[in-house]
Each structure stands twice: as C-alpha cells, then as structure tokens.
Amino acid sequence: MTTLYSSVQLIQEHARRLYEAHGDKAEYEAAQKARLHEEKGEHEEAETWRKVRESISRMRGPHES
C-alpha cells in the first residue's frame, strides 16, 4: 500500500533524477509526458507527470528576467 507521503517522496525523487539527467529541459520533458498521457486518456499518469513538473519547477526556483 502506497501512502500519500511515499507517493510525494517518489514524485520528488523522480523529479530530481529527471532534472539531473535533462537539466533545464526536464520541466518541458515532464510537461510533454503529461500532455501525451492526457491525450491517451490516461488521466492518473498525466496528473503524476504534472506533479513531477511542479516539483522540478520548485527545484529550479524563481525565474530570473
């Protein structure tokens, strides 16, 4: 049984690994995965990828202009 806490940990870990592998493109990659899953009707998977993208965004911090 997966708890909410362990789900959050898994999302954060996946986001960290994706960011380490893809750098600044990681957020875009996660958004693309979310969109593709949504188009397939895979709503839970899409939501997971949106959470991964949000986690990457928080890791990156505020955008500079």
pLDDT in tens, 26-41: 999 999 999 999 999 9
pLDDT in tens, 5-18: 678 899 999 999 99
pLDDT in tens, 42-63: 999 999 999 999 999 999 887 6
Q: Which structure tokens are listed for 6?
A: 């362990």
Q: What is the CA radius of gyration of the chain?
A: 12
Tell me how far apart the alpha carbons of residues 37 and 4 are, in angstroms, rounded to a whole number. 22
> 3: pLDDT confidence band, cut at 50, 70 and 90?
low
Give the amino acid at 61: G
Q: Which structure tokens are listed for 13?
A: 């870990």
Residue 64: is its pLDDT beyond 60? no
Q: What pLDDT, on a 0 to 100 scale, did the predictor assign at position 2?
A: 54
pTM of the full structure: 0.84
Angle, alpha carbons 43-45-50 (nearest 5°): 90
Domain parsing of the chain, residue ranges: 12-58
Place of tokens 């500079």: 64
